[in-house]
């Protein structure tokens, strides 16, 4: 943009800065009405963030939440044309900037990303589904995964424990998957063990059958019978929860 | 033709209960671009049932920094992908200082602004390969005013060769807030360029201010203004009922659409009514 601004451009920039900060209102033709623009825009931003981050909002008190939204809006230049994507910029902003509350929230980033992913997985563009059959042989057929999935490693159990009750004692290793159900297109959550995560990752990386999963569980279990049982248990769980859609269609 | 703004809030009833019978639907492309899953399926059903009109929110034709070329290209692809009948936008700005603000802010009525807007429109029209249809905005105050609103709009339309979406409710809201005669204003519009009409309800804050909320039923003076507009136009122009908040039962919206059709029929087919 040209560095030499005309008075019209200067006034528009001043107006934008006022709307974002609520400070230093510009002189306008009906000064009594200038504040309506700040209020209208701010309420849209506040509603968008409140709808996107209900758990975080509930965890904070009203003032802390308002400060968090206002600090973001004032200090971040929103880049997306699609307002439903703005909560991701909120998350990214607070990865880089201190969250404006006195209390330290060790699981803040994890919680924000978890809440954002629910929106992202629900709204994301459709991915390609390989043709599959619901019937097949779990021990021999190629397993077809649901590609519309995100797996989130966590240090705190934000997915299954009230945030206000989470303490340092809860710190550990958790995995949660968020996927879009193939049939009803709603987002579903599953808590997963590390071996289950590894198997899901493999399924999404390459054509996988029962036997390909064996080396993963071999790291955790030496009894081959138990390994087979656990793989079958994983396949049953994944089919039941729509993490695996079915079996590769064989040509007749 | 009378259409309605399709809202996710009433999607199920809208698609399956047959309580409402619009001739077309309108959506904001920003709410549907790159969306998959459940809403993609619902949107497809809507498009299979009704002709689609697009009404954008984020183009920001009045931005001092110019328009976002990549975004315009995305819009073009979306128009083609959806087979939309029409794409319109607002004569306002919503991005400034490289920050989106997600509201329709009034462009100052100045010569500098006209020059910038015309330049932006020409770029967009060139990229889209079609004329832009721009809506007269509602406004509660202005940053600067060197010329009147009709002069501002007419010069932009003339120099850019764009077309116009005449929002009758916006004219009413502005005439109330800024104390002018709404019919006189409409008479001064480039009516031969009007391709589309919007109508809606609003919220009267106090004796001096109306906010354009799209959150209430259309009031009689706005219906009268539509009647006047159609008398001046003497041709059929698609009319859209906008309702974005406080959405009532669909029967209420259907009844508003019936009233709009009656006005249209009365003006265009006076012998039949």
CATH number at residue A170: 3.90.930.50
Distance CA(A108)–CA(A101), nearest Å, equals: 11
| Res. B269 pLDDT band, cuts 50 70 90 | confident
Torsion of CA B181, B184, B186, B187, to 10 degrees: 180
Are A143 and A227 within one domain? yes
A142 and A235 belong to one structural domain: yes
For the CA atoms of B153, B74, A185, B38, what is the dihedral angle to 10 degrees?
Answer: 30
Residue A60: strand, helix, or coil? coil
Q: In this structure, is residue A51 part of a structural domain?
A: yes
* A96 and A196 belong to one structural domain: no
Between chains, do A82 and B37 touch, taking CB under 8 Å as contact? no
Residue A214 in any domain: the answer is yes
- Domain of A217, in residue numbers: 129-248
CA distance A126 to chain B (A): 5
Of the pLDDT bands very low, low, confident and very high (cuts 50, 70, 90), residue A131 is: very high
Burial of residue B230 (CB within 10 Å: 0-12, 13-18, 19+) is buried
Q: Which of B29, B30, B94, B87 is nearest to B67 (CA)?
A: B94
- Residues of A whose CB is below 8 A from B27: none
- Report if residue A236 sits inside a domain: yes
DSSP3 helix / strand / coil % (chain A, rounded to 5): 50, 10, 35
What secondary structure letter does DSSP report for B196? E
Same domain, A29 and A99: yes
- B42-67: average pLDDT: 97
Tens of pLDDT, residues B196-224: 999 999 999 899 999 988 889 999 999 99
Domain boundary among A86, A103, A120: A103
Residue A72 C-alpha from the chain's centroid: 19
pLDDT value at position B272? 62
How far apart CA B165 and CA B168 sit, in angstroms, is: 9
User: Which chain A residue's Cα is nearest to B146?
Assistant: A8
User: What does the mean pLDDT of chain A come to?
Assistant: 95
| Separation CA B151–CA A150 (nearest Å) | 54
For residue range B99-125, what is the model confidence (pLDDT) as tens digits? 999 999 999 999 999 999 999 999 999
CA distance A150 to chain B (A): 15
Extents of the domains making up chain B: 2-267
Cα B82 to Cα A48, B21, B48, B114: the distances in Å are 26, 21, 10, 32
Domains of chain A: total = 2
Q: Is residue A173 one of the residues assigned to a domain?
A: yes
User: Is A100 within 8 Å of A75 (Cβ atoms)?
Assistant: no
Is A111 part of a structural domain of the chain?
no
- Minimum Cα–Cα distance from B114: chain A residue: A8
Same domain (yes/no): A99, A173: no
SS (H, E, C) B111-152: HHHHHHHHHHHHHHHHHHCCCCEEECCCCCCCCCECCCHHHH
Specify whether A154 is located in the same domain as A242. yes
Angle at B198 between CA B108 and CA B157, to 5 degrees: 45
Enumerate the residues of chain A whose CB falls inside 8 A of the CB of residue B177: 30, 33
User: Is position A113 within any domain?
Assistant: no
| Domain B2-267 annotated CATH 3.40.50.300 | no
pTM, two decimal places: 0.94
């Amino acid at each position: 943009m040209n560095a030499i601004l005309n008075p019209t451009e200067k006034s528009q920039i001043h107006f934008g800065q006022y709307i974002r900060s609520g400070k230093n209102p510009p002189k306008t033709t009906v000064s009594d009405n200038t504040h309506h623009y700040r209020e209208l825009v701010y309420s849209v931003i506040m509603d968008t963030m409140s709808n996107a981050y209900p758990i975080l909002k509930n965890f904070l008190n009203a003032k802390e939440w308002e400060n968090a939204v206002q600090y973001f809006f004032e200090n971040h230049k929103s880049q997306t044309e699609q307002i439903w994507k703005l909560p991701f910029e909120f998350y990214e902003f607070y990865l880089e900037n201190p969250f404006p509350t006195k209390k330290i929230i060790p699981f803040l980033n994890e919680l924000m990303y978890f809440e954002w992913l629910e929106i992202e997985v629900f709204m994301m563009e459709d991915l390609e589904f390989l043709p599959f059959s619901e019937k097949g042989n779990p021990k021999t057929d190629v397993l077809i995964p649901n590609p519309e999935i995100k797996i989130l490693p966590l240090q705190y159990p934000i997915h299954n424990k009230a945030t206000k009750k989470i303490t340092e004692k809860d710190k550990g290793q958790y995995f949660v998957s968020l996927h879009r159900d193939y049939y009803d297109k709603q987002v579903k959550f599953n808590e997963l063990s590390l071996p289950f995560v590894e198997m899901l990752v493999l399924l999404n990386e390459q054509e996988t059958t029962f036997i390909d999963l064996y080396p993963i569980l071999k790291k955790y279990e030496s009894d081959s019978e138990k390994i087979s049982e656990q793989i079958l248990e994983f396949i049953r769980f994944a089919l039941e929860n729509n993490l695996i859609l079915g079996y590769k269609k064989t040509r007749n | 033709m009378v259409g309605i703004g399709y809202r996710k809030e009433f999607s199920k009833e809208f698609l399956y209960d047959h309580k409402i019978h619009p001739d077309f639907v309108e959506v904001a492309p920003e709410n549907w671009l790159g969306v998959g899953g459940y809403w993609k399926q619902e949107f497809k059903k809507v498009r299979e049932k009704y002709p689609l009109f697009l009404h954008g929110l984020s183009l920001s034709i009045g931005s001092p920094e110019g328009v976002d070329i990549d975004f315009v290209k995305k819009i073009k692809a979306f128009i083609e992908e959806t087979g939309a009948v029409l794409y319109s936008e607002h004569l306002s700005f919503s991005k400034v200082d490289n920050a989106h603000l997600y509201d329709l802010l009034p462009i100052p009525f100045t010569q500098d602004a006209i020059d910038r807007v015309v330049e932006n429109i020409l770029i967009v029209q060139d990229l889209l390969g079609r004329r832009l249809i721009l809506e007269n905005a509602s406004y509660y105050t202005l940053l600067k005013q060197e010329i009147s609103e009709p002069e501002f709009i007419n010069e932009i339309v003339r120099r850019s060769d764009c077309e116009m979406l005449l929002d009758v409710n916006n004219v009413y809201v502005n005439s109330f807030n800024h104390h002018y005669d709404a019919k006189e204003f409409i008479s001064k519009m480039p009516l031969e360029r009007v391709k589309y009409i919007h109508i809606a309800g609003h919220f009267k804050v106090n004796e001096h201010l109306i906010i354009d909320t799209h959150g209430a039923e259309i009031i009689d003076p706005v219906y009268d203004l539509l009647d006047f507009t159609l008398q001046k136009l003497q041709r059929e122009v698609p009319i859209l009922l906008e309702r974005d908040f406080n959405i009532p039962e669909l029967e209420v919206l259907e009844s508003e659409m019936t009233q709009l059709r009656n006005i249209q029929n009365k003006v265009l087919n006076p012998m039949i009514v």
